[in-house]
Amino acid sequence: MFNYDETVLDVFLENQEKLYPETVAATREEADDFLSEVMAVVVENSKEVREYFEEQCIDVEGADLDEILEADEVFELPDGRYLIVEA
């Protein structure tokens, strides 16, 4: 069973080149393993993306929310959640 739901895995598989120059996963199982290994997180909304970056001591001071959401590490999910994968 996957630790991440199918939506998360599919979005990562389709968009991983946004963050990585080469494919790191080809299947849902590989994506799940990779995301687990790098401790990727799923947050419920854009506000939680900013909070996550702040909690991780990533400098977001002066950045507006759109800039934060456009970061390579942030993957928008179709249901309004966000996947954050630290490279």
What's the pLDDT at 62?
Answer: 85
Rounded CA-CA distance 29/49 in Å is 25
First to last CA, the chain: 24
Instruction: Give me the residue spans of the domains in the chain.
Output: 6-84
The residue written with tokens 């120059």 in the block is: 21
pLDDT digits (tens, 9 = 90+) for 6-58: 999 999 999 999 999 999 999 999 999 999 999 999 999 999 999 999 999 98
